[in-house]
């Protein structure tokens, strides 16, 4: 076929082929513009988010007048100005809505992801596998980025390479012995939820009396811990109930959190034998001692670090504002923490800094706190533009029937030895052991059948760990016992029971089906009573805690996201270019998240050679270093990386 005929054929394909864009944020805006200008005429775009002021510096399809409106709808309207003849359908919705089933995905010849969280990426990956539709994955972080193609039976899927579980700090560290600013920021976010949001027993902020380090007698020491408010004993009632009983009085809250609870911690003598003991704060003393108005420092407001009294006043103001917001919403209302909500951000900034001061840490600016608490990854508009352009180029190869010429392409910060910023790598074949795209997906899970509840299996293991949306679980016991049903209320009575109550024991097998994803997973249960403290289960064969050697260039340790709220790992390739091309993918979700807390993990394997797509030269690729589903924020010494949900 002549070159001109190929171009005519491709132009015809562009005008008739229906494509789906998932996400209308940093990459999504650039991608939508590129598609209509390239000649794509039938486009559907879906995004759950609304436009925020913080989006305007890089998501150029949006303007100030659009703040608060649907991203998908405004992106459609703006893109149509480039090409009024295009047929664009916008959905202000979650791609995980059951309405977008396998039949929905089969309408498209190509799906392009511009997402910012792992859960949605996992889901779209599975839907494209079920529908047998090519998927183009992408992500950016600062100057770094990458694009890859996923095709059932030909390439690795998004989940072929195991993602390490999140590294979470033990509750006793958060509640009793914080040693890094991130511990205090996590505590402050927990506190926000306990006071104003949805209460979670796993996010308690009061002193942990079960701390294994503290060998002490609670009855004896409690008597020594003086409390300024008799009704401030939050051990008897929930934190929210106690706060309501005080009318959300900011000074009572302050003294309870930063004085009484700290004095209670001091009674746990053994905790402070090898640590510097915390120093309680008293509102009245600070008010008498500190100036009522502190002179603001130099520089931008968000980058200033206030004094102790400054954070006391900020705490008071934010509590009063949040209390008013809660009252306006009515009885039983809850607030949702948002990094872009000033009172919520003020609350976390002030509470975290006051706790840092108590535990003798250097306090942080609002900007630094927001970066860690809000899972913010640096977003550069030009990086998004380059990656969006690469997505379209890979899409054109797919429409031309040249899937074999598709590549995983890495965008680096600095040129490699061949003076390239863009490094293409051959796509890897599917992993035989993948628990998603294998012909018969199987996995082995180690847990304690006498302590693992059915609800834990459903929410923590099947939904959170294995990415299912609405699982049905049957025990392979010869009777076909239904353990979990996706039909509401059908197996609700089972939720609080333990797996052992249903005859599940070492070696038992469960069949988990998700009909929305057209996905079945066989689970072999290994019973154990030797799991570490705070570990509910382990997936056999994964080693998420084996971290690689420290990186010499800390700048390269960034989460690959599309510059939106949460982070997630875009690549399905387990390989990276040679040393001089190296970029590290640190996965976390945005996970805002975050949700959701992960340390760099995944063993580095043997190097192997692949032909460079652009030059025919040979380039070395090595397994890439991955990280968890929420955004990564380095601690003071940059040794630990945590992601917040």
Active site residue 406: no
- Is 117 marked as a binding-site residue? yes
Tell me whether residue 340 is annotated as binding.
Answer: no
Q: How far apart are the C-alpha atoms of 607 and 71, rounded to whole Å?
A: 42
Active-site option among 29, 83, 128, 172: 172
In sequence order, which residues have a C-beta less than 8 Å from that of residue 41 and are 6 or more positions away?
14, 15, 16, 85, 86, 87
Q: How do beta strands 87-91 and 110-113 pair? A: unpaired
> Is 71 flagged in the annotation as binding?
yes
Helix H or strand E encompassing 620: strand 618-623
Consult the annotation and say whether 118 binds a ligand: yes
The first and second tokens of residue 345, run together, are 């951000």
Strand order from edge to edge, sheet including 618-623: 575-576, 618-623, 608-611
| Tokens (6 digits) for 499 | 């797996």
Distance between CA atoms of residues 477 and 482, nearest Å: 10
> Is 23 annotated as belonging to a binding site?
yes
Cβ contact 45:88 at 8 Å: yes
Name residue 626's beta-bridge partners: 601
Q: Is 95 annotated as a binding residue?
A: yes
Cα–Cα dist 356/267, whole Å: 20
Say if residue 27 carries a ligand binding annotation: yes
- Does 58 show up as a binding residue in the annotation? yes
Residue 94, annotated ligand binder? yes
DSSP state, residue 340: T
The radius of gyration of the chain from alpha carbons, rounded to an integer in Å, stands at 26
The three state secondary structure string of 505-516 is: CCCCEEEEEECC
First to last CA, the chain: 53
Q: Are strands 608-611 and 584-586 parallel, antiparallel or unpaired?
A: unpaired
d(CA 280, CA 308): 12
Residue 175 annotated as binding site: no
Backbone angles phi, psi at 297, to 5 degrees: -75, 180
User: Is 55 within any annotated ligand binding site?
Assistant: yes
Q: Give exposure, 280-306, as e/b (b: 16+ Cβ within 10 Å).
A: bbbbeebeeeeeeeeeeeeeeeeeebb
Instruction: Summarize the annotated binding site for Zn(2+) as residue ranges.
Output: 157, 160, 434, 437
Instruction: Summarize the annotated binding site for ATP as residue ranges.
Output: 23-28, 47, 55-58, 71, 94-95, 116-121
Among all residues, which ones are annotated catalytic?
172
Instruction: Summarize the annotated binding site as residue ranges.
Output: 23-28, 47, 55-58, 71, 94-95, 116-121, 157, 160, 434, 437
């Amino acid at each position: 076929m002549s070159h001109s005929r190929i171009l005519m054929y491709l132009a015809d394909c562009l005008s008739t082929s229906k494509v789906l864009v998932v996400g209308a944020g940093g990459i999504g805006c650039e991608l939508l513009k590129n598609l209509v200008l390239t000649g794509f005429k039938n486009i559907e775009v879906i995004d759950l988010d609304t436009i925020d002021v913080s989006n305007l510096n890089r998501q150029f399809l949006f303007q100030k007048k659009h703040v608060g409106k649907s991203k998908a709808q405004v992106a459609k309207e703006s893109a149509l100005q480039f090409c009024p003849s295009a047929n664009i359908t916008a959905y202000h919705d979650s791609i995980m809505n059951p309405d977008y089933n396998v039949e929905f995905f089969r309408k498209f010849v190509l799906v392009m992801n511009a997402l910012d969280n792992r859960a949605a990426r996992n889901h779209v990956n599975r839907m494209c596998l079920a529908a047998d539709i090519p998927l183009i994955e992408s992500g950016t972080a600062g100057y770094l980025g990458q694009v890859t193609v996923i095709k059932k039976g030909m390439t690795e899927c998004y989940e072929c390479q195991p993602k390490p579980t999140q590294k979470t700090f033990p509750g006793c560290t958060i509640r009793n012995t914080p040693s890094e600013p991130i511990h205090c920021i996590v505590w402050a976010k927990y506190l926000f939820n306990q006071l104003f949001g949805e209460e979670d027993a796993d996010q308690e902020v009061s002193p942990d009396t079960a701390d294994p380090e503290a060998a002490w007698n609670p009855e004896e020491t409690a008597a020594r811990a003086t409390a300024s408010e008799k009704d401030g004993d939050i051990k008897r009632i929930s934190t929210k109930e106690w706060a309501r009983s005080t009318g959300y009085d900011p000074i009572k809250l302050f003294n309870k959190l930063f004085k009484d609870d700290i004095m209670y911690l001091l009674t746990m003598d053994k905790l402070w034998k090898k640590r510097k003991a915390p120093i309680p704060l008293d509102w009245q003393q600070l008010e008498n001692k500190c100036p009522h108005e502190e002179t603001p420092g130099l520089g931008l407001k968000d980058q200033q670090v206030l004094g102790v009294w400054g954070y006391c006043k900020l705490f008071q103001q934010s509590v009063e504002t949040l209390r008013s917001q809660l009252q306006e919403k009515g009885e039983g209302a809850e607030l949702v923490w948002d990094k872009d909500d000033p009172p919520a951000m003020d609350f976390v900034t002030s509470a975290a800094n006051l706790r840092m001061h108590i535990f003798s840490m250097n306090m942080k600016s609002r900007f630094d706190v927001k970066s860690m608490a809000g899972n913010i990854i640096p977003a550069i508009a030009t990086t998004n533009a380059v990656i969006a352009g690469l997505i379209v180029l890979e899409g054109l190869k797919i429409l031309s029937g040249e899937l074999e010429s598709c590549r995983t392409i890495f965008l680096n910060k600095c040129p490699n030895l061949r003076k390239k910023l863009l490094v293409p790598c051959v796509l890897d074949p599917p992993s035989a052991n993948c628990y998603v795209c294998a012909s018969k997906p199987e996995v082995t899970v180690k847990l304690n059948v006498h302590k693992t509840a059915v609800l834990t299996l459903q929410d923590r293991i099947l939904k959170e760990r294995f990415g299912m949306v609405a699982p049905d679980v049957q025990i392979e016991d010869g009777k076909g016992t239904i353990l979990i049903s996706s039909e509401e209320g059908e197996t609700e009575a089972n939720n609080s029971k333990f797996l052992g109550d249903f005859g599940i024991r070492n070696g038992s097998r469960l069949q988990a089906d998700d009909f929305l994803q057209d996905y079945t997973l066989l689970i072999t249960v290994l019973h154990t009573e030797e799991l570490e403290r705070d570990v509910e289960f382990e997936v056999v064969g994964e080693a998420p805690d084996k971290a690689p050697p420290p990186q010499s260039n800390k700048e390269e340790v960034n989460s690959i996201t599309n510059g939106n709220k949460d982070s997630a790992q875009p690549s399905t390739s387990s390989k990276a270019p040679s040393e001089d091309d190296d970029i590290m993918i640190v996965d976390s979700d945005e996970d805002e998240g975050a949700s959701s807390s992960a340390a760099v993990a995944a063993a580095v394997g043997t190097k192997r050679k692949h032909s460079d797509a652009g030059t025919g030269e040979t380039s070395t690729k090595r397994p890439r270093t991955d990280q968890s589903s929420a955004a990564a924020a380095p601690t003071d010494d940059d040794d630990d990386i945590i992601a917040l949900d």
